[in-house]
Amino acid sequence: MKKSPFPITDDHIHIHPGTGRGLEAAKDFQKSGGTHIFLVSLPSWSYGIVPGKGEDYRPVFEATLKTAAAIRELGLTVYPVLGIHPAEITYFSEIRTEGEMAAIMQAGLDLAARYVADGSAVALKSGRPHYPVGPGCWDLSNAVLAHALELGGACGCAVQIHAETGPCTDVVQMAEQAGMDPGRVVKHFATPDTPLAPSFLARDEIIPALCREGRAFTMESDYMDDPARPGAVIGPRSVPRITTRLLAGGAITGEDVHRIHAETPSRVYGVEIAL
């Protein structure tokens, strides 16, 4: 097992012991030098759940927390992130209207916020579709996102958002109106032009240039742990391996590594990341 001299944090990863590689994927991350993960809850459909009310998301969140506990037994530090995937508003379109799903998703976020409030999770997950939808669905999705931001403000926690490619500049005002610091809204799968807290896919070639600018950001794999999509988006070894390679090649410095993997996520999520 590779012993890392500094924290290596994956800001967005999924682990699914039920149907995926589960703990073996977490072990791969650890063996490559990884030390900390933000474990993000999967969509309800990953567990065969068709939500009809907010409480129906409880098994999803409980499964995430159970997985987090099992991963901690390996010696990794795990921070659960609970919420509702924004695609749920259209995924169940054959049995739920978009308006019905928006209300269910908001209630599910209320439940997720209770887990944050009791210390079981550190952040919420929300967003809006990253694919074309009609104006009605877009407005409903923004209402769900606004609700998540209001809950984040009330809980004093970060909110990870899964949204369209691009800066999502309007979310800054949405966060401020919700009483939340936009600097604690994490743009998952970010692009450099976002004014939010960017989390970049580890293979993003712009990372060294952003480090030279002293930019604050985090790194992620968005590993899906889905046997139907092996390696999607990139594998669990990616964040530690790419970080180590960039450092060894002089593309980034030790100071950059500390800022990416410890200083920035500690500030954004209100946790202490250290070895």
139-166 pLDDT, tens digit per residue, is 999 999 999 999 999 999 999 999 999 9
Considering the domain boundaries, does residue 102 fall inside one?
A: yes
Cα–Cα separations (whole angstroms), residue 65 to 68, 81, 105: 5, 9, 19
Considering the domain boundaries, does residue 199 fall inside one?
A: yes
In whole numbers, what is the pLDDT of the chain averaged over residues? 96
Distance CA 231, CA 225 (A): 7
How far from each other are the two terminal CA atoms of the chain, in whole angstroms?
Answer: 16
Ramachandran angles phi, psi of 127, nearest 5°: 145, -155
pLDDT in tens, 234-259: 999 999 999 999 999 999 999 999 99
Distance CA 67, CA 138 (A): 33
Considering the domain boundaries, does residue 181 fall inside one?
A: yes
Q: Are 138 and 128 in contact (CB under 8 A)?
A: yes
pTM of the model: 0.97
Residue 226: how many CB atoms within 10 A of its CB? 16
Provide the percentage of residues in the chain whose pLDDT is more than 70: 99
pLDDT in tens, 216-229: 999 999 999 998 88
Angle at CA of residue 190, ends 49 and 105, nearest 5°: 25
Kindly report the CATH number assigned to the domain that includes residue 197. Answer: 3.20.20.140
pLDDT in tens, 161-186: 999 999 999 999 999 999 999 999 99
Considering the domain boundaries, does residue 274 fall inside one?
A: no
Considering the domain boundaries, does residue 110 fall inside one?
A: yes
- The two most distant CA atoms of the chain are separated, in Å, by 54
pLDDT attached to residue 233: 87
pLDDT band at 2 (very low <50, low <70, confident <90, very high): low
Please list the helix, strand and coil fractions of the chain in percent, rounded to the nearest 5, in that order: 45, 15, 40
Considering the domain boundaries, does residue 121 fall inside one?
A: yes
Does residue 93 carry a pLDDT above 90?
yes
Query: What does the pLDDT average to over 107-111?
Result: 98
Considering the domain boundaries, does residue 275 fall inside one?
A: no
Q: Specify the number of domains making up the chain.
A: 1
Its domain, for residue 230, covers: 9-269
pLDDT attached to residue 1: 66
Query: What does the pLDDT average to over 29-56?
Result: 97
Question: Cis bond leading into 159, ω under 30°?
Answer: no
